[in-house]
Amino acid sequence: MPFPFTPGLTEPRLVDLSDPSGDLILDADRHDLEAALADGDVDALARIGGSFAAVIQRGVTIRLARTIGRPLRYFVAKRSSGPYLVVADRIDAIARYCAEQGIGWQFHPSYTRIVPAHYMVELDQIGCPDPNPRYRRFFTPRVGQGAPDAAALGEGYLRALEETVGKIFDRLPEGSPVGIALSGGADSTAVAWAVLGAARARGSAGRLRFFTLCVGDAADRSSAEAVARALGVAAQWKAVEASLEDISLPEAVRAIEDYRPLDVQCAAAMLAFAKNLRRAEPDLVHLFDGDGGDENWKSYPLEDSEITIRSVVNNPLLYHEGWGVDSIKHSLTYSGGFSRGVVRGYAPARFSFNTGDGRCGRREVSGFAR
């Protein structure tokens, strides 16, 4: 139970820098999300589809939750009146806020904490020492439910992809252009097929534009063009030309705020793609990206990793949740697994398609939430 709140002694305070415009909530709305979070109802959170991140305050208790596609992190700042929580999508947003408030000396990146995807995190603001957060998972897929048949599993995977893409497509503004990143590999081809099917079913295939990052004579150009021809959309396909100078690993690290080599490399390519796509297609806002199939299928070769077959079998959300909040390998500061993989596409796109520095608006809530 939370420690009793004493007005004037410890004033609960929340500074919310997160950006709800990044949500893509399916089968519910923002009100449903915030109500479930306010009640601490993990079953209600589990029924909300799509991608979201939210924070809510009730008395001294603050609850945070996010899905895999929306980063969310927090930092405990201190004032003479007591602690308060700064919440944001990004580490640099928290750093900027602390500097603006004259408490930059309190900040260090390692002092920030990531909200694990698919967990509701509860924090009580009761002063020093800071209490440990409480974690409650709201999404736990059942293990061993699929047929032991690769073809049947593939069909189920594509049906789920098709259904989700259709729901997302219906949320897009009518008549707006829709982009699809197409490398010609299995992941992007599956997404392109699903988006094309959704658009054709709605009589909107003419809205689609297919784009491929091309750096020199990379094989993606010919592979993607062959896929576009096979799908019957060659006239809607375009190569997005980039130079080697457009590939910047430091910029990628800055965009994703992470350090894993594969994610940094992927983010660098995505950043080059997004920047050049913005120049070529300034009216394009909505982009489907098919990265992440390896993580979904847990198909990384064991010989190229420190993992074992036992760790794969025993971790149902391996690559999605990293190693879990109760494990020694779990990072408190950085996102993990597939969540990190999503950020390597999400963050570069925001950098290129928005302000270029990750900035967003700010909401402040003092005292009790309203």
The secondary structure of 90-130 as a DSSP string is SHHHHHHHHHHTT-GGG--GGG-EEPPTTEEEEEE---SSP
Q: Residue 185 has what DSSP assignment? A: S
Phi, psi angle pair for 366, to nearest 5°: -105, 145
**Model pLDDT for residues 283-329, shown as the tens digit of each residue:** 898 999 887 656 666 666 666 666 677 766 666 665 566 556 777 76
Distance (Å, rounded) from C-alpha 67 to C-alpha 50?
8
Q: In CATH, which superfamily holds the domain spanning 150-353?
A: HUPs (3.40.50.620)
Prediction pTM value: 0.85
Partners of residue 135 on adjacent β-strands: 121
Parse the chain into domains and list their residue ranges.
Answer: 13-140, 150-353
In order, the DSSP letters of 292-332 are THHHHHT---GGGSS--HHHHHH-TTTTTSTT-TTSTT--S
User: In this model, does residue 359 exceed pLDDT 60?
Assistant: no
Quick one: tokens of 124?
């009580």
Q: What pLDDT score was predicted for residue 341?
A: 79
- β-pair type (61-66, 178-181): unpaired
Q: Where is average pLDDT lowest: 145-149, 236-240, 256-260, 303-307?
A: 303-307
**Model pLDDT for residues 338-348, shown as the tens digit of each residue:** 788 788 888 88
**Model pLDDT for residues 187-220, shown as the tens digit of each residue:** 899 999 999 999 999 999 999 999 999 998 878 8
Task: Assign 66 a pLDDT band (cuts: 50, 70, 90).
Answer: very high
